[in-house]
Amino acid sequence: MSLLELDQVTKRYGAETLALDTITFSVQPGEFVAIIGPSGAGKSTLLRSINRLIDITSGDIRFDGVSVPQLRGQALRRHRTQIGMIFQHYNLVNRLSVIENVLHGRLGYKNTLQGILGLYSEEEKREAVRILETLGLSEQMYKRCDQLSGGQKQRVGIARALVQQPKMLLCDEPIASLDPSSAKVIMDTLQEINRSTGITVLVNLHQVDVALHYAERIIGVNRGRVIYDGPPHALSNAQIYQIYGSEAGELILDLKERYAA
Amino acid sequence: MQPDAFFRRRRLQSALFFIAMAAITYGGMVLTQFDLVQGLSVIPRAFMWGITNFVPDERAWARLPRILEKLQETVLVAVASSTIASIFGLGLALLGANTTRPHPWFSLPARAIASIFRNIDVSVWALILLFSFGQSGFTGFFALFFVTFGFITRVMVETIDEVGIEPVEALRATGAGYTAIISQSVIPACLPQLISWVLYMIETNIRSATLVGILTGTGIGFLFDLYFKNFSYGSASLVVLATVAVVLLIETVSNYIRRTIL
């Protein structure tokens, strides 16, 4: 059974703008999927509709057999706990320590009082420490997040998502603000998580080369429509042109050839 | 245009501006019958009068315990009104800020309420509240409370929006509830600014409390008014000096706290 199914998903902003246009695809458990496309293609909107940070206009999204658009209150919170999210700008509380930011990933499981006071159990704390160790952040555990580098901040973001014990990770441009070597560390980490734990990964990228290198499956989006959905090796040059528009497409193909050579 | 011509025009503009200012000043002096020579020559005499009359005399020093007692009362009212009003202000700010409002409809009313409370001056509040509470500490307390409430709401709305939606969005994505998001991400992120503004309001309110006291007949302002109207200028000036000393002390302390938390 599919973990995630999108059926004719459409999102309209106002009367004119169509951010998502009848998007249909499904994701199997354990897949590593990259969504590529130019800025403003609707990639972010697509990810945010899956954990309902954005409400869709029409269509249906089913996650683990549950229809997402109708969820309210507690049920919506429970749905969100099953999906970890990683952001381009890390979205950490910079004044708090690394471990506190990681434990924020457990807030979805808390009642009101526990949430207000930030009460975490011994096991939760130990689990957070364990995850930080595997991500190579044990030295930074009690440092404030504003003292970290971009790559370290993103690893804290990943730790916060993992501590949720999610079934799926949504990564919204996770390497767009990072230098190439930190970017590689982050992508390797995501791949390693996917392979060792079987957590499904859905990652938005605008670097085609990165997507081709890491993903098992590429979904190409332009103007809110799926242009391509298939394995990386079957993605043709014509389809890259179609996804990115002619001029950008040339540049991307140029890069691709140089990498191949 | 040639550079020469440009600079000539510049000089001409400056000269015209200067002449206009001189003419307006002279015109004003003629209209108000202000004699510059006399005005300047009287300054030394004014200073002498001030020094001889406003130096605290023995009678004033004898009144120091009473002055300090009233000053303490005033400081406590200022601190109490600032801190309590800040809690309410933060609450309203959370309802009004774009990133934390429960519904878009909350924004405008919250900002409007803040605006009304802030834009009515503290002296006006004191006079209005005088009808309700009479000559008591409550009048001063509420006058300072209302102004602080409006001010803190206003600045915290901006602070919350400046901190940004990003951590809020991240916590929503984990499934955290509204109150958990506020207490675990918004408040920690805004706390230094909040404390800084509360300290600022305490300083401001101690100064305003003096004026409010004159209007409502309480605290240190009442004492100043009393001495001043009885021609005990020495005692009145001791009141001023003591207030200045306390304000400076509190400013020093709050600057220290600010440096530590920021």
Q: Whole-angstrom Cα distance, residue A55 to residue A45? A: 9
Instruction: Give a yes or no: residue B30 inside a domain.
Output: no
Contact B166 A91 (CB under 8 A): yes
> A159, A102 in Cβ contact below 8 A?
yes
Domains of chain A and CATH, by start: 1-82+168-261 (3.40.50.300), 91-165 (no CATH)
Flag whether B52 is in a domain.
no
Mutate to test the interface with B, among A104, A154, A172, A202 (most CBs of B within 10 A): A104
Q: Is residue B154 part of a domain?
A: yes
Residue B42 belongs to some domain of the structure: no
Residue A186 has pLDDT above 90, yes or no: yes
Say if B33 falls within a structural domain: no
For chain A, list residues whose CB is within 8 angstroms of any CB belonging to chain B: 51, 53, 76-81, 83-85, 87, 89-96, 104-110, 112, 115-118, 157, 160, 164, 170
Residue B172 touches chain A, beta carbons under 8 Å: yes
Residue B133 lies in a domain: yes
Instruction: Determine, for residues A94 and B192 on separate chains, whether the beta-carbon distance falls below 8 Å.
Output: no
Cβ contact A75:A64 at 8 Å: no
Q: Is A7 exposed, middle or buried (0-12, 13-18, 19+ CB in 10 A)?
A: middle
In whole angstroms, what is the distance from residue B239 CA to residue B220 CA?
7
What pLDDT is recorded for position A100?
A: 95
Contacts of A112 in chain B (CB under 8 A): 177, 179-180
For residue B130, give the CATH number of its domain. 1.10.3720.10
Give yes or no for B122 touching A (CB within 8 A). no
> How high is the mean pLDDT of chain B?
89
Q: What is the pLDDT of residues B163-186, one digit of tens each?
A: 889 999 999 999 999 999 999 999
Residue B205 to chain A, least CA–CA distance (Å)? 29
Encode pLDDT of B188-212 as tens digits: 999 999 999 999 999 899 888 888 8
Q: Which of A93, A115, A170 sits opposite B189 (nearest CB)?
A: A93
Determine the residue among B174, B186, B191 to mutate to test chain A binding: the one whose Cβ has the most chain A Cβ atoms within 10 Å.
B174
Is residue A252 over pLDDT 80?
no
At residue A258 the predicted structure's pLDDT band, cuts being 50, 70 and 90, is: low
E strands, chain A, in order: 4-13, 17-27, 32-36, 58-63, 66-67, 83-86, 168-172, 200-205, 217-222, 225-230
> Can you name the residues that pair with A61 across neighbouring β-strands?
A6
What pLDDT, on the 0 to 100 scale, is given for residue A25? 94
ipTM of this predicted structure = 0.89
Residues A80, B184: C-beta atoms closer than 8 Å:
no
Residue B19 placed within a domain:
no
Q: Phi then psi for A162, rounded to 5 degrees?
A: -70, -35
Q: Is the pLDDT of residue A208 over 60?
A: yes
- Structural domains counted in chain B: 1
Q: What residue numbers bound the domain in which B189 lies? A: 61-261
Q: Is residue B93 part of a domain?
A: yes
